[in-house]
C-alpha cells in the first residue's frame, strides 16, 4: 500500500531528514545509513539539498525508506535529525505530526519541546564524542558517525551491515576504522542504555534490492560515455554536471590506461569556458572521435553559437545538460527541467535539435550510449536532458547490463576504399534519399577533402550565396529532423490507453507520477501516462494526444516548456492540455500531482477516467 495514503504500518516506510552544516562531513554518515538499509534488502531513495557553498551553510539530506520502491521525494518528514541549531525552528516545523526529533542535547534547548505532537529524542552527541576523541575537526566528523549509531539503534539497522560498510571504506586505514567504529558504538550504546528502541518506524529486512544498485545519474552517464567508446571529453566546471566528467575520468583511469606503457586511450580537456568546451567536442567529432561535453543551463547559453554551426555544418556532438534552477545563476544546487526550449531550438537561425530525456540514472547510462549513436547517425548535436535530481542523487536502479555484441553506429563515414570508388565526393548530397549525407574524415585521401563552414554551402559542399542552392540544403535538414524520430527511443505508455484522461511527462517526474498513479488507482481514478523519451516527438506521442480528451502535462519549470513544445510540434489542441508544474527547486513529489488531478477532474465531472 503506497505510503502517501497508508498509515497502518510504518515499518520500512518512512522518511528521515538530516539537517546539517555543510562542510562538516555529514554526507558520509548519511550515506552510511542509507546504504546499510539498502543492504538489508529495503528500497531507499536519497535526496541531497545542499547550498552553493563550501563550508558553513545549512544542508539537508533526506532518506526515504520505501518498501514499495518509490523513487520520488516524499513530501513529508517522519524523523528529523536536527544537527544545525541555525535551522532548528524550520526543521521542527517540517516534521509530520507523530514524528520524531533527534537533537544534540549537550546543549538543552527548551524551544525544541514546544510542539506537543512530536516526540523529542535528546542525545548528548557532542559530549559523548568530546569525552572519547581529541581534535576539533576529528570530533566534528565523528559526531556524524555517532548519530548514525543512534539511528542504527532507533531504526533497528543491522550493526554488522554498518560495520561491513565501514570496513570497506576504512579497511586499509586501521586508525580511521577504529575511531569510526568507536563513534558508531557511542551513539548506538547510548540509545540502548537510555532510550526505548527500536521506534515503531523502523527497518525490517526484505529481499527487494537484490539485482539493484545505488548510483547517481552523472556516474552512470560517465560510465555510458566509456562504454560508448568516447575518447575525447571537453568541459568547463559547472554544478551540477561536474561529477559526470569526474566519473568519466575515473572510469578511464581504470579501464583505458595501458598497464604496460601507461598510455591513455582518452583525452580530457578542461576548457577555458563552455564556448571552447563545445568547440573542442565539435573539432574532435569532426575528426572522427566520439566526443562529448557535460554542462548545465548557463553553459548551454554560451554554447549556442557553436551548436548552430554543428547543426548546419552537420557535425555530430553529444551534450549532457544536467539542468539546474535558472534563470541566470539561479539556484545552482537545486533541480529543475527548465532548459527544454533552450535546447530544442538552441542557436540563431532555423535550428532544431534532438533531445533525449533520461528518467533515472539507469537511463543515463543507456541514453549516453544512444546519444553517440544518434549523433553520428544523424550528424547533428544531441542533448541528453538530465537534471540535478537524477545527476547528483543516489537512486536505486536495476544493475546496469551490457551486450558485448554492441557495435557503435558511426553513421555514414566513407572509408578510403569507398572514396577511391567514387568519381567525386560531395559532402552534402542526399545520395540515399534519407536526408543524411556522407561525411569523410581528415587524413584519408585528397579526394575525401571538403571544406566545413557555417556560411552558406550547397549540396556539393561548396560556398554559396545562391538562394536556391542554400534552400536545397536547409530543406534537406528539415527532412532529416522530421525523420529523426524513427531512430530515437519510443515513449513509454503506462495504462491501457483507454482512459479519457492522460498524463504526458518527461525525465525525473517519472517516479512521482508513477506513485501518483498508484494512489489515484486506489481512489478509482485511472489515468493513462505517456513518458516521452525523445524530441522530435514520435507518432506515438501524436496518437496519445489525439486519443485523450484531458491531458495533464507534468514538468518541473514555471513556464510549461514541455507543454509549449507539444503545442508547437504536434497537432494537439491547446485547450486539452493542463499543466502541473513544480519549480521550487526540490524534486517533484507525488502529492501535488494527485491533488491537482483530483481537483481538475472535480471541475469536469463528465470527464471520467475509466477503470482499467
Q: Minimum distance from CB of 455 to other proteins (Å)? A: 7
Q: Which residue in the set 112, 152, 157, 226 belongs to the binding site for other proteins (CB under 8 A)?
A: 226
Q: Minimum distance from CB of 248 to other proteins (Å)? A: 12
Q: Which residue in the set 28, 106, 239, 452 belongs to the binding site for other proteins (CB under 8 A)?
A: 452
Q: Quick one: cell of 20?
A: 546539517
Q: Which of residues 236-275 bind other proteins (CB under 8 A)?
A: 255-256, 258, 261-267, 269, 271-273, 275
Q: Minimum distance from CB of 270 to other proteins (Å)? A: 9
Q: Minimum distance from CB of 272 to other proteins (Å)? A: 4
**What residues have CB less than 8 Å from 183, skipping those under 6 apart?**
129, 132, 133, 142, 143, 145, 146, 149
The CB-side HSE value for 84 (13 A sphere, CA atoms) comes to 21
The answer to whether 121 and 100 are in contact (CB under 8 A) is yes
Which residue do the cell numbers 542509507 mark?
A: 34
DSSP one-letter code for 545: H
CB atoms within 10 A of CB 214: 20
Q: Which residue in the set 147, 227, 357, 552 belongs to the binding site for other proteins (CB under 8 A)?
A: 227
The answer to whether 612 and 495 are in contact (CB under 8 A) is yes
Q: How far from 602 is each of 4, 528, 536, 574, 609, CA to CA, in Å? A: 20, 18, 34, 20, 11
Does the footprint of other proteins cover residue 277 (CB under 8 A)?
yes
How many whole angstroms separate alpha carbon 282 and alpha carbon 381? 9
Q: Quick one: cell of 327?
A: 534563470
Q: Which residue in the set 33, 151, 203, 214 belongs to the binding site for other proteins (CB under 8 A)?
A: 214
Does the footprint of other proteins cover residue 229 (CB under 8 A)?
yes
Q: Which of residues 401-440 bind other proteins (CB under 8 A)?
A: 401-404, 406-408, 440
How many whole angstroms separate alpha carbon 551 and alpha carbon 296? 30
How many whole angstroms separate alpha carbon 78 and alpha carbon 307? 47
Binding mask 23-62 for other proteins (x = CB under 8 A): ---------------xx-----------------------
Largest CA distance in the chain: 89
Does the footprint of other proteins cover residue 604 (CB under 8 A)?
no
CB closer to other proteins, 165 vs 527: 165
Q: Minimum distance from CB of 572 to other proteins (Å)? A: 36
Q: Minimum distance from CB of 377 to other proteins (Å)? A: 16
Does the footprint of other proteins cover residue 445 (CB under 8 A)?
yes
Q: Which of residues 453-472 bind other proteins (CB under 8 A)?
A: 453-455, 463
Q: Minimum distance from CB of 378 to other proteins (Å)? A: 19
Which residue do the cell numbers 563515414 mark?
A: 413
Does the footprint of other proteins cover residue 276 (CB under 8 A)?
yes
The answer to whether 235 and 299 are in contact (CB under 8 A) is no
CB closer to other proteins, 77 vs 303: 303
CB closer to other proteins, 268 vs 543: 268
Does the footprint of other proteins cover residue 498 (CB under 8 A)?
no
Q: How far from 182 is each of 133, 149, 177, 437, CA to CA, in Å? A: 10, 10, 8, 66
Q: Which residue in the set 14, 49, 60, 286 belongs to the binding site for other proteins (CB under 8 A)?
A: 286
Does the footprint of other proteins cover residue 442 (CB under 8 A)?
yes
Q: Minimum distance from CB of 262 to other proteins (Å)? A: 6
Does the footprint of other proteins cover residue 371 (CB under 8 A)?
no
- The count of residues interacting with other proteins (CB under 8 A) is 74
CB closer to other proteins, 107 vs 406: 406
Short-list 93, 120, 90, CA closest to 108 = 120
**What residues have CB less than 8 Å from 5, skipping those under 6 apart?**
519, 522
Does the footprint of other proteins cover residue 305 (CB under 8 A)?
yes
Which residue do the cell numbers 577511391 mark?
A: 420
CB closer to other proteins, 231 vs 505: 231
Question: ∠ CA 343-344-346 to the nearest 5 degrees?
Answer: 55
Does the footprint of other proteins cover residue 600 (CB under 8 A)?
no
DSSP one-letter code for 193: H
Query: Strand 331-335 vs strand 317-325: parallel, antiparallel, or unpaired?
Result: antiparallel
Q: Which residue in the set 170, 345, 450, 460 belongs to the binding site for other proteins (CB under 8 A)?
A: 450
Amino acid at each position: 500500500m503506497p505510503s502517501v495514503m497508508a498509515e497502518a504500518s510504518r515499518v520500512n516506510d518512512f522518511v528521515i531528514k538530516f539537517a546539517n552544516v555543510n562542510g562538516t562531513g555529514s554526507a558520509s554518515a548519511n550515506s552510511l545509513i542509507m546504504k546499510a538499509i539498502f543492504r538489508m534488502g529495503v528500497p531507499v531513495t536519497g535526496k541531497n539539498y545542499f547550498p552553493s557553498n563550501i563550508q558553513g551553510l545549512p544542508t539537508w539530506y533526506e532518506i526515504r525508506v520505501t518498501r514499495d520502491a518509490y523513487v520520488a521525494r516524499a513530501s513529508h518528514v517522519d524523523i528529523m535529525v536536527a544537527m544545525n541549531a541555525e535551522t532548528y525552528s524550520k526543521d521542527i516545523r517540517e516534521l509530520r505530526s507523530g514524528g520524531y526529533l533527534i537533537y544534540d542535547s549537550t546543549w538543552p534547548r527548551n524551544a525544541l519541546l514546544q510542539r506537543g505532537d512530536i516526540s523529542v529524542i535528546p542525545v548528548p552527541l557532542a559530549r559523548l564524542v568530546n569525552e572519547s576523541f581529541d581534535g576539533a575537526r576529528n570530533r566534528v566528523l565523528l559526531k556524524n558517525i555517532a548519530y548514525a549509531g543512534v539511528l542504527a539503534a532507533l531504526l533497528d539497522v543491522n550493526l554488522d551491515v554498518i560495520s561491513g560498510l565501514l570496513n570497506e571504506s576504512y579497511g586499509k586505514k586501521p586508525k580511521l576504522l577504529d575511531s569510526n567504529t568507536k563513534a558508531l558504538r557511542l551513539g548506538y550504546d547510548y540509545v540502548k542504555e537510555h532510550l526505548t528502541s527500536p521506534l515503531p518506524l523502523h527497518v525490517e529486512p526484505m529481499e527487494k534490492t537484490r539485482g539493484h544498485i545505488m548510483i547517481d545519474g552523472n556516474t552512470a552517464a560517465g560510465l555510458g560515455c566509456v562504454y560508448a567508446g568516447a575518447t575525447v571529453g571537453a568541459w568547463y566546471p559547472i554544478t551540477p554536471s561536474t561529477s559526470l566528467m569526474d566519473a568519466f575520468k575515473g572510469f578511464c583511469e581504470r579501464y583505458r590506461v595501458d598497464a604496460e606503457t601507461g598510455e591513455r586511450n582518452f583525452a580530457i580537456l578542461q576548457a577555458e569556458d563552455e564556448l571552447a568546451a563545445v568547440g573542442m567536442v565539435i573539432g574532435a567529432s569532426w575528426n572522427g572521435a566520439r566526443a562529448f561535453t557535460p554542462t548545465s543551463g548557463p553553459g548551454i547559453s554560451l554554447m549556442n553559437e557553436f551548436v548552430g554551426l554543428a547543426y548546419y555544418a552537420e557535425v555530430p556532438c553529444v551534450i549532457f545538460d544536467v539542468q539546474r534552477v535558472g534563470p541566470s545563476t539561479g539556484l545552482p544546487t537545486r533541480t529543475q527541467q527548465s532548459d527544454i526550449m533552450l535546447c530544442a531550438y538552441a542557436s540563431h537561425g532555423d535550428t532544431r535539435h534532438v533531445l533525449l530525456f533520461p528518467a533515472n540514472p539507469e537511463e543515463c547510462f543507456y541514453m549516453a550510449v544512444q546519444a553517440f549513436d544518434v549523433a553520428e547517425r544523424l550528424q547533428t548535436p544531441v542533448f541528453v536532458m538530465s537534471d540535478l535530481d537524477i545527476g547528483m542523487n543516489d537512486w536505486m536502479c536495476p544493475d546496469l547490463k551490457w551486450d558485448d555484441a554492441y557495435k557503435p553506429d558511426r553513421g555514414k563515414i566513407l572509408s578510403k576504399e569507398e572514396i577511391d570508388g567514387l568519381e567525386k565526393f560531395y559532402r552534402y548530397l542526399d545520395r540515399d534519399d534519407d536526408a543524411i549525407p556522407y561525411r569523410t574524415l581528415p587524413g584519408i585521401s585528397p579526394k575525401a577533402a571538403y571544406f566545413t563552414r557555417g556560411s552558406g554551402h550547397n549540396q556539393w559542399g561548396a560556398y554559396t550565396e545562391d538562394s536556391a542552392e542554400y534552400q536545397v540544403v536547409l530543406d534537406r535538414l528539415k527532412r532529416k529532423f522530421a525523420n529523426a524520430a524513427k531512430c530515437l527511443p519510443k515513449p513509454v505508455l503506462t495504462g491501457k490507453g483507454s482512459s479519457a484522461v492522460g498524463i504526458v511527462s518527461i525525465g525525473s517526474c517519472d517516479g512521482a507520477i508513477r506513485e501518483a498513479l498508484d494512489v489515484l488507482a486506489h481512489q478509482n481514478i485511472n489515468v493513462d501516462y505517456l513518458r516521452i523519451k525523445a524530441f522530435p516527438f514520435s507518432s506515438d506521442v501524436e496518437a496519445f494526444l489525439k486519443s485523450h480528451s484531458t491531458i495533464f502535462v507534468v514538468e518541473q519549470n514555471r513556464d510549461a516548456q514541455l507543454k509549449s513544445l507539444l503545442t508547437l510540434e504536434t497537432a494537439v489542441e491547446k485547450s486539452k492540455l493542463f499543466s502541473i508544474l513544480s519549480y521550487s527547486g526540490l524534486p517533484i513529489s507525488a502529492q501535488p500531482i494527485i491533488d491537482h488531478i483530483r481537483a481538475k477532474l472535480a471541475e469536469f465531472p463528465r470527464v471520467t477516467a475509466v477503470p482499467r
